[in-house]
Structure 1
Amino acid sequence: MTFTNSVRRTGVTLLAAATLTALPLTGAGAGAGAGFGTGTTAVAAEHRHDGSWRGAWATSPQYPTAPFAPNWSQQGFSDHTVRQVVRVTTGGTKARIELSNRYGTKPLRVTGATVARTAEGASVKAGSVRQLSFGKGRSVTIPAGATAYSDGVPFTVAALESVTVTLYLAEETGPATFHTFSSATSYRADGDHRSDRDGAAFKESSDSWYYLSGVEVSGGQAPRRDGVVTFGDSITDGVGSGLNANDRYPDELAERFAAAGKPRGVVNHGIAGNQVTNDWAWAGEKGIERFKKDVLTEPNVRTVIVLEGINDIGGSGLSVPGQPTTPEVTVEQLVEGHRELIRQAHAKGVRIVGATLTPIKGSVYDTPVNEAKRDAVNHWIRTSGAYDAVVDFDRVVADPADPDRMLPAFDSGDHLHPGDAGYRAMAQALDLDAL
């Protein structure tokens, strides 16, 4: 399968390697470790063995930290209700949620949880609130380092519909596993407001997600293995896109599938600042470790798109206050990190698409050394044949008059992250049939 004519014209279409359709349809693994290589994850038996569930929304858990702006992760919660709005990418007639205590220091007690259709802000639509259960009980205790799944509840939801998940945390939680950049507003209220229809009690807000790491659906279509996971750093995470706008490139990709009449799960496992080769406490475990936890535990995944490495390059030798200096990363080390991601995906029968690293000229990462590394890594991604396919995001968003710089119309303003138009162009560059 090739797209050479389109590539010659624009340089933006997915380039498919000969192995794209040759991988076996074996399931992705369900086990995962916790906390920077230690601990265990408690995965429900239903999740391991029932192939009917599909990932509709997801985010990657992170260690409690506040490197950029205040959030609620370090202090945690006590007699609080947390209400979070997410948009699902595929629909069904039954739903369940995934909760993560991966970086918790003690067991997490969730007193109760609900799911509902979103109205406006923290309010939900009348008559749509559904109480969630966990092993038939309304509450659940999640051990430190573990993950829990609610029981499935009848809940008809359509692709691209927003749903509201509400958690009541009566007991003191300690520091909270969360996701820093949500590009979405979460809400907090004192006391138990899990079943409230209006949002009047929710006086506080945050632009992060807490404990909620997934929404899965079943029913509405025959089970099939066609899910797409997007894996990477802040550009996959959607930094630079509008708040509550769902304009990250994975969102735009999900919209293309829906518009084509074939919606499917497209879940986002980007973490701002994340690296392939190094842990940063404020930016998640290194990609080669979290890939098996975040990507390969998703149900019915067919393809993963990897866009990661610019922080390995730009972050070499840098430090965040209170954190150790990040080691220098060579091109060879970064390439080996990508090869490790490919090995992990292929071992689980998952197709893996490599994305070239986008321009950095004019950004905080712009140095001759870093640009030379970026060019070398991109050359390897384009020409090595190691990935099953390649999408050339570099050429998609580059300024034709200055290819090392992002096209101004696509630039969020920091010359590193695309804005909404740039993310839309990236999603348009992916071939839906190849995915």
Structure 2
Amino acid sequence: MTGRTGRGCRIAAALLTTVACQPQAAGANALPPSAQRAFGVVTWAASAAPIGEGIAGRSYRMIVHTSVGGTGLRVRVTNAFGDRPLTLDSGYVGLCGRGAALRPGSNRRLTFGGVRTVTVPVGTVAWSDPLPGTWPAGTDLAVSLHTPDAAGPATGHRLALQTSYTGQGDHTAGESARKWGRTTGSWWYLDAVSVRPSRPATGAVVALGDSLTDGRRSTPGLNRRWPDYLARRLNTSRTDVMGVADEGVSGNKVLADGIGPSALDRLDRDVLSQPGVRTVFLFEGVNDIKGHTGVTAADLVAGYRAIARRVQGAGKCVVVATVGPFKGWPEWDPAAESVRQEVNRLLRGSRDFDAVTDFDRVLRSPRDPERILPSFDSGDHLHPDDRGMRALADAVDPDHLNCAR
């Protein structure tokens, strides 16, 4: 399993460096302790993947929702899947008003090493310099970027479940909705935001998963993915873990690449490179099981264990969730169900993880445990609706996210 780390990114400790994605040893921490202190805690993130073609001269105003608040806000821009250097010649962050409009006076210019333009080499990411001021928890930010000569494959996150805005020409400095004539349902060239919380002990949890974590079938625009509900819970709980990074990718698998790299392949870039991470919450596997893939329960649990070894080797904790029911989904059959049941049996009895959360027990119908509870079913028999998403978040024990390692 250790040969799957080639896409991992090393994030240097320097305040503004552009960093190449380099192969790493299994379990290596992609963000050194000095950078952990400098960058604070991740407050928002979305896994990067190819999302289409870059367009020269386009501006993007992307709406993202914070989990934990603090000062010294930074954004991470990404060219992880590009085939040529990406130049961003203007970037701003402000507080959302209505639509594409911002709260007056809130827009702040981004710099990278003290300059306004950054060129991100192929396969790398870049962190901005910290912005002044305090940035609230649980609020919508507008991150505006302009790409003067973008072309070729663009990197971003396709299923944002959030309306963002585009315009031709550089309109990033403006706070009104004028010039932002089109909308997009994806996040472009942006994959993380961090802050320095007021309490130095504050940490974050990364939710590593597939479409159920990505929020598919939850209500767009309302932040009703289960990690969103979890973030709201943590901000009212007595816990040091308050940041939440949603690294769910629709169609993702643990063992094999498909729609984007596998969980094993993207672990370093999407998880270990994020600042302030205390715990990884692993909830995926249904895509490995369904569709006659030939994956056995032993295969999948071995993949979970490989992730746990690398995460724990980096000094972080791992909580794993059981695989939820999906009878009624077109790719369900008794053979896949047998694998799912065996995976869950092995997970419930395993000591390879710091904790196990039984999402199967939360989601399944007592009348037919192979099916999702009708009151939680979004209609496709696999993905929970908003109530189901909330039930998943409510099942997470905050104490399990703050384990000592």
Asked if 2 retains the 8 angstrom alpha-carbon contact of 1:225 and 1:301, the reply is no
The equivalent position to 2:6 in structure 1, one of 5, 30, 37, is: 37
The equivalent position to 1:392 in structure 2, one of 354, 358, 380, is: 358
Matched, 1:179 2:166: no
The equivalent position to 1:291 in structure 2, one of 264, 267, 281, is: 267
Paired AA for residue 214 in structure 1: A
The equivalent position to 2:99 in structure 1, one of 115, 121, 129, is: 121
Asked if 2 retains the 8 angstrom alpha-carbon contact of 1:313 and 1:374, the reply is yes
Paired AA for residue 252 in structure 1: Y
Asked if 2 retains the 8 angstrom alpha-carbon contact of 1:122 and 1:199, the reply is yes
Matched, 1:409 2:375: yes
The equivalent position to 1:235 in structure 2, one of 212, 236, 240, is: 212
Give the SS at the match of 2:399: coil
Asked if 1 retains the 8 angstrom alpha-carbon contact of 2:301 and 2:343, the reply is yes
Asked if 2 retains the 8 angstrom alpha-carbon contact of 1:279 and 1:286, the reply is yes
Alpha-carbon separation, structure 1, partners of 2:149 and 2:79? 15
TM-score of the aligned structures, taking structure 2 as reference length: 0.90
Flag the 1:355–1:40 CA change in 2: closer, same or farther, 3 A: closer
Partner of residue 22, structure 1:
none
Paired AA for residue 303 in structure 1: T
Q: Deviations over 1:327-381 (max 9, x none)?
A: x322221111111011011101111001000111111231001100100111111
Paired AA for residue 229 in structure 1: V
TM-score of the aligned structures, taking structure 1 as reference length: 0.84
Asked if 1 retains the 8 angstrom alpha-carbon contact of 2:292 and 2:336, the reply is no
- Cα distance, 1:198 vs. partner? 1.4
Partner of residue 306, structure 1:
282
Asked if 2 retains the 8 angstrom alpha-carbon contact of 1:36 and 1:285, the reply is no
- Cα distance, 1:276 vs. partner? 0.5
Alpha-carbon separation, structure 2, partners of 1:249 and 1:395? 16
Partner of residue 325, structure 1:
none
Asked if 2 retains the 8 angstrom alpha-carbon contact of 1:177 and 1:210, the reply is yes
The equivalent position to 1:343 in structure 2, one of 295, 303, 309, is: 309
Alpha-carbon separation, structure 1, partners of 2:219 and 2:80? 28
Flag the 1:41–1:143 CA change in 2: closer, same or farther, 3 A: farther
Partner of residue 400, structure 2:
434
Partner of residue 200, structure 2:
223
Q: Which moved more, 1:50-59 or 1:348-357?
A: 50-59
Paired AA for residue 289 in structure 2: I
Alpha-carbon separation, structure 1, partners of 2:157 and 2:164? 11
Paired AA for residue 347 in structure 2: I
Give the SS at the match of 1:164: strand
The equivalent position to 1:61 in structure 2, one of 26, 48, 70, is: 48
Asked if 2 retains the 8 angstrom alpha-carbon contact of 1:115 and 1:131, the reply is yes
- Cα distance, 1:302 vs. partner? 1.1
- Cα distance, 1:200 vs. partner? 2.3
Alpha-carbon separation, structure 2, partners of 1:106 and 1:351? 36
Q: RMSD across aligned C-alpha pairs, in angstroms? A: 1.8
Matched, 1:100 2:69: no
Alpha-carbon separation, structure 2, partners of 1:42 and 1:226? 18
- Cα distance, 1:171 vs. partner? 1.2
Alpha-carbon separation, structure 1, partners of 2:216 and 2:329? 14
Alpha-carbon separation, structure 1, partners of 2:206 and 2:291? 25
- Cα distance, 1:40 vs. partner? 6.0
Asked if 2 retains the 8 angstrom alpha-carbon contact of 1:331 and 1:373, the reply is yes
- Cα distance, 1:43 vs. partner? 3.7
Q: Which moved more, 1:386-395 or 1:198-207?
A: 198-207
Flag the 1:36–1:198 CA change in 2: closer, same or farther, 3 A: farther
Alpha-carbon separation, structure 2, partners of 1:80 and 1:226? 35
Matched, 1:247 2:224: yes
Q: Which moved more, 1:172-181 or 1:89-98?
A: 172-181
List, as ranges, runs of 4+ consecutive aligned residues in structure 1 with deviation greater than 6 Å: none
Alpha-carbon separation, structure 2, partners of 1:38 and 1:345? 16
Q: Deviations over 1:311-338 (max 9, x none)?
A: 0011444xxxxxxxxxx32222111111
Asked if 2 retains the 8 angstrom alpha-carbon contact of 1:230 and 1:250, the reply is yes
Flag the 1:39–1:159 CA change in 2: closer, same or farther, 3 A: closer
Identical-residue share of aligned pairs (%): 40
Partner of residue 324, structure 1:
none
Flag the 1:183–1:38 CA change in 2: closer, same or farther, 3 A: closer
Asked if 2 retains the 8 angstrom alpha-carbon contact of 1:229 and 1:305, the reply is yes
Q: Which moved more, 1:180-189 or 1:100-109?
A: 180-189
Partner of residue 6, structure 1:
none
Flag the 1:233–1:285 CA change in 2: closer, same or farther, 3 A: same
Matched, 1:84 2:62: yes
Flag the 1:264–1:223 CA change in 2: closer, same or farther, 3 A: same
Alpha-carbon separation, structure 1, partners of 2:130 and 2:123? 23
Matched, 1:332 2:310: no
Partner of residue 13, structure 1:
none
The equivalent position to 2:327 in structure 1, one of 361, 380, 385, is: 361
Q: Which moved more, 1:370-379 or 1:396-405?
A: 396-405
Asked if 2 retains the 8 angstrom alpha-carbon contact of 1:41 and 1:147, the reply is no
Q: Deviations over 1:234-272 (max 9, x none)?
A: 011111111111000000001011223657101111111
Paired AA for residue 393 in structure 2: A
Alignment gaps of 5+ in structure 1: 1-32, 65-72, 318-327
Alignment gaps of 5+ in structure 2: 16-30
Alpha-carbon separation, structure 2, partners of 1:39 and 1:92? 28
Flag the 1:227–1:42 CA change in 2: closer, same or farther, 3 A: closer
Partner of residue 233, structure 2:
256
